[in-house]
Amino acid sequence: MVDTTKNTKLFTSYGVTTSKAINPDMAAKMISKAKRPLLVVGSGVLKPELLDRAVKIAQKANLPIAATGHSHVGFLDKDVDAKYINVHQLGFYLTDPNWPGLDGKGNYDMVIVLEFKKYYINQVLSGTRNFSNLKAISIGRDYIQNATMSFGNISREDHYVALDELIDNL
Amino acid sequence: MSKLTTGSFSIEDLKDVQITINTIVGAAKEAAKAEDIGPMGPSPFPGLATYRDDWNLKLLDRYEPVITPMCDQCCYCTYGPCDLSNNKRGACGIDMAGHNGREFFLRVITGTACHAAHGRHLLDHLIETFGEDIPLDLGQSDVLTPNITITTGQSPKTLGEIKPAMEFAEEQLTQLLATVHAGQESAEIDYDSKALFSGSLDHVGMEISDIVQIAALDFPKADPEAPLIEMGIGTIDKEKPFLCVIGHNVAGVTYMMDYMEENELTDKVELGGLCCTAIDLTRYKEADRRPPYTKVVGSMSKELKIIRSGMPDVIVVDEQCVRGDIVPEAQKLNIPVIASNAKIMYGLPNRDNQDVDATIEELKSGAIPGCVILNYEKLGEISVRLAQEMHPIREAAGVREVASDEQMKEWVDKCADCGACYLACPIELDIPEAMKFAKEGNYSYLEDLHDACIGCRRCEQVCKKEIPILSVIEKASQKIIAEEKGWMRAGRGQVSDAEIRSEGLNLVMGTTPGIIAIIGCPNYSDCAKGVYYIAEEFLKRNYIVVGTGCGSMDMGMYKDENGETLYERFPGGFVSGGLVNIGSCVSNAHITGAAQKVAGIFGGRTMEGNLAEISDYILNRVGACGLAWGAFSQKASSIGTGCNIYGIPAVLGAHSSKYRRALIAKDYDESKWKVYDARNGEEMAIPPAPEFLLTTAETWQEATPMMAKACIRPSDNNLGRSIKLTHWMELHDKYIGGLPDDWWKFVRGEADIPLAKRAALMKILEEKHGWEIDWKRKKIISGPTIKFDVSAQPTNLKRLCKEA
């Protein structure tokens, strides 16, 4: 008997490439493997529960932080390397191999994004996905299709648990 | 044979025959080329390629296109669909960047067409009604049509004389539209150049639209004392019949107002509107200061909200920014809908040729949900009379009230907490959480959603329990809706020549720190109040804040602790610390016009046919930044792109990343931050500002310092630079935290450094950046990469340099 259900790849509409949905342990593994990763946080990170976790992620994985939106204000008294940059500008600079980075040491090979409006970070990452080799890992509560890998859509409570698991695995 | 001219003449021997020639094809262009009409720049009546090499590519070299596609595929022709991901080329040969440049360009020309068509409609209508010879009386100014003059070289003085500029814009739009055909333009950068050209035409179309209505309909004329107008859903008197108008084109509404005034109904019927028709109906006949009686309900995001309130007894729509579901939504509440403009007819039957009484009876009976009426005389009478007749009928039917408490509880209890509404909500409101609290009897979380909710009802369409979620939010928000009462100044029209003369020097030197233009739609990513916070912050810092359209409305919707709106607190003149409501969307042309006039009147530059030089002047010397915080439409993209070609940067809200294309500079690439000194053609380094021509910000807190920084210009004198740095650095500290990393790049000498913190900042320059400081004389000895020369003439155009 011929299996006629095997290959259902579409030819008529290519739609949008979707990211690989991952669990926190896999996200931690990917972050650990990156040569020059950057944690990119949006203003949503200013919720205390998230700010604490973002700081822990940055500290444990030794990640510099691109504090976009007005999130930078949350990191002033924290022991992390956080610098302000506009995320649309950042998205553009990430596609330029000559960008010296936030620290003057060159561009990044991975961004880990957290706490944005999903449509906004998704648009920014559509630029990096189509015009660079950057890897993007989304660890927010929304599934971000233009990331390389992303958490799925999860509740706020589950998101906190997922971030804690990620921290444990770093 | 002698050349024909316009005018009337008789022919000998032909008794009773008079020949009148109104327009001669090509005559306007011919006239513009003639030498005897005064100074003329190199580009009157430009074509697709005219600005490309001389100006647009120079802009695009510094402000590079940043492409953020919406999806992987192109399905534009029958070769496709093609997968363009990772910048692949499709079957036709276009790549991802080119395709998305085309997508952005399509939006810009669509917006341009909207305003040009609006202008054409008003021009024809007003010429037909009042004649061609109505003078362009726009206030005490000599420069009446800066956008038309820069583009065509012409300076029309009457309605009739505007026709060549109108025809030119239409012709060029056809040329532009042709380029998107599959197999035509494929280079992203050329779509950007064409988009910039289209943006300049957009401001011509808008200028035409507004100046003809100001002149013929007696709108305020460059009037800083234009009256204050009541605004907000809470200002509508529920006891009166309510005629609700929605859209952008005031032509039909004037007939309703005339009918109401002739029949002494102005205190018996409420006439209020949403979107720009609302702004323009408050401007009608306001030049002679009869007391205002019409109301502004609010921005586009209030369209469904006002319908769901049940208050409108008749809805009349015209054109642009009108929702596609007005008829089915209105039908549920027995509200007849009249379509008054051929651009939106909703599939309704046309009743132009039917007797007025018969049409009123037909609509009253509910036999048809609405109709098309393009005859304005009939529209004026039918809409007002119908509102009066529908009011008691609808009152008796109980459809003028929001849902009961029992109904509300029933809806809330149905919620299964599936989360589909959260996923569907374009602004990601946490509706499930609010519903959870509502089930426990706490409606405050639902109430909190009201201000941010854009009233799109995407949530309702995915709700498996068929809960009318928008109605639930609105029911929970009845208290705050009743208190939604604000004030806005009626749109005042152009900035006058005298105002430009008195502010020009301050703007070019930087001592008035900048012009902040708050424009556009209500698709906010955070909250409507964001525009109020931003405006207040800049007004308190003596920037000139100008506004148009929905942005102007939302700035007036909020009050301070003394119960005063911004329009009550700040003067309406184009002065430092002034809040200037220019008018509706089409009045945006007067914002670019104000910057152009600084170059023309204060800077003494030739305006006629001279776009590149005027734009170059603005980019290098006029600190101005636009904010389209809730931009949703194609028109917003064309307005912004028109600002961009004139060297005015714009910050947009996060949703605007969906326009697919931004223009951002590399602040780290020093080769991009050089201009020529026009005195000798030598290169001079300039600071990296503005860093963008079109970009987005995540929150209003982020946008505020971004805009302050974007007002810095190479021409700032020491005091001006010091003032601008003070505001930017203070705002950065307030909203972002700490000193900006790159503040030192803007310092040319000690006098540039903010006075209040000069010593501390010089210490940082010494310690962190290795600058040499003479502490006795408190002077910088070495360090700055840019120099200050008060006589320098910064320009991006080599051809303007003396040695060239």
In residues, how long is chain B?
804
pLDDT recorded at residue A17: 79
Closest residue by Cα to residue B693 from B648, B655, B639, B724: B648
Cβ distance of A100 and B67 shorter than 8 Å: no
Does residue B417 sit at the A interface (CB-CB below 8 Å)?
no
Kindly state the average pLDDT of the residues B86-95.
96
What confidence category does residue B7 fall into, taking pLDDT thresholds of 50, 70 and 90? low
Whether pLDDT at B753 is above 60: yes
pLDDT tens across B406-445, in order? 999 999 999 999 999 999 999 999 999 999 999 999 999 9
Cβ distance of B654 and A99 shorter than 8 Å: no
Does residue A32 sit at the B interface (CB-CB below 8 Å)?
no
Q: Which of B657, B667, B732 would best serve as a mutation to test chain A binding (most A beta carbons within 10 A)?
A: B657
A101 to chain B, minimum CA–CA distance in Å? 10
B79 to chain A, minimum CA–CA distance in Å? 11
pLDDT tens across B691-727, in order? 999 999 999 999 999 999 999 999 999 999 999 999 9
pLDDT recorded at residue B24: 65
Helix H, strand E, coil C: the string for B305-374 is: HHHHCCCCCEEEECCCCCCCCHHHHHHHCCCCEEECECCECCCCCECCCCCHHHHHHHHHHCCCCEEECC
pLDDT tens across B510-537, in order? 889 999 999 989 999 888 899 999 999 9
pLDDT tens across B138-192, in order? 998 999 999 999 999 999 999 999 999 999 999 999 999 999 999 999 999 999 9
Count the neighbouring beta carbons within 10 Å of the beta carbon of residue B189. Answer: 17
Cβ distance of A126 and B70 shorter than 8 Å: yes
A126 neighbourhood in chain B, CB within 8 Å: 68-70
Report the SS3 class of residue B741. Answer: coil
In residues, how long is chain A?
170
B86 to chain A, minimum CA–CA distance in Å? 4
B701 to chain A, minimum CA–CA distance in Å? 6
Cross-strand pairs, B70: none
Cβ distance of B66 and A70 shorter than 8 Å: no
pLDDT recorded at residue B5: 64
A51 neighbourhood in chain B, CB within 8 Å: none
Closest residue by Cα to residue B64 from B684, B671, B747, B626: B671
Q: Helix B163-178 crosses helix B96-130 at what angle (to 10 degrees)? A: 160
Cross-strand pairs, B664: B64, B692
Cβ distance of B426 and A75 shorter than 8 Å: no
pLDDT recorded at residue B584: 96
A116 neighbourhood in chain B, CB within 8 Å: 698
What confidence category does residue B740 fall into, taking pLDDT thresholds of 50, 70 and 90? very high
A72 neighbourhood in chain B, CB within 8 Å: 736-738
Does residue B427 sit at the A interface (CB-CB below 8 Å)?
yes
Chain A stretch 49-108, residues whose beta carbon is closer than 8 A to a beta carbon of chain B: 68-70, 72-73, 75-76, 83-84, 86-89, 91-93, 96, 98-100
Whether pLDDT at B686 is above 90: yes
pLDDT recorded at residue B1: 46
C-beta separation of B306 from B244 below 8 A: yes
pTM score of the predicted model: 0.95
Whether pLDDT at B35 is above 70: no
pLDDT recorded at residue A2: 83
φ, ψ dihedrals at B311, nearest 5°: -70, -40
pLDDT recorded at residue A7: 75
Does residue A129 sit at the B interface (CB-CB below 8 Å)?
yes
Does residue B75 sit at the A interface (CB-CB below 8 Å)?
yes
Whether pLDDT at B780 is above 80: yes
Cβ distance of A13 and B73 shorter than 8 Å: yes
Cβ distance of B691 and A83 shorter than 8 Å: no
pLDDT tens across A40-75, in order? 999 999 999 999 999 999 999 999 999 999 999 999
Which residue is listed with tokens 């492409």? B67
pLDDT recorded at residue B6: 64
> What CA dihedral angle connects B233, B234, B235 and B241, to 10 degrees?
70
C-beta separation of B415 from B439 below 8 A: yes
Q: What distance in Å separates the CA atoms of residue B162 and residue B133, rounded to the nearest whole number? A: 11
CB proximity list for B269: less than 8 A, separation 6 or greater? B240, B241, B242, B243, B260, B384, B387, B388
pLDDT tens across B252-292, in order? 999 999 999 999 999 999 999 999 999 999 999 987 788 89
Whether pLDDT at B32 is above 60: no
Nearest to B698 among A14, A87, A127 (CB): A87
Does residue A150 sit at the B interface (CB-CB below 8 Å)?
no
Q: Helix B431-439 crosses helix B469-476 at what angle (to 10 degrees)? A: 60
Which residue is listed with tokens 């669990």? A23
Q: Are strands A20-21 and A149-150 parallel, antiparallel or unpaired?
A: parallel
C-beta separation of B685 from B673 below 8 A: yes
B69 neighbourhood in chain A, CB within 8 Å: 126-127, 130
Closest residue by Cα to residue B235 from B482, B558, B532, B553: B482
pLDDT recorded at residue A16: 75
Kindly state the average pLDDT of the residues A120-144.
97
Which residue is listed with tokens 């003396």? B802
Using CA of residue B786, residue B792, residue B797, residue B801, what is the dihedral sign?
A: negative
pLDDT tens across B380-414, in order? 999 999 999 999 999 999 998 888 999 999 999 99
A43 neighbourhood in chain B, CB within 8 Å: 698-699, 701-702
Tell me the two tokens of residue B449.
């959603």
pLDDT tens across B177-191, in order? 999 999 999 999 999
pLDDT recorded at residue B2: 54
pLDDT recorded at residue B418: 92
Q: What distance in Å separates the CA atoms of residue B652 and residue A88, rounded to the nearest whole number? A: 11
Residue of B nearest to A123 (CA): B68
Average pLDDT of chain B to the nearest whole number: 94
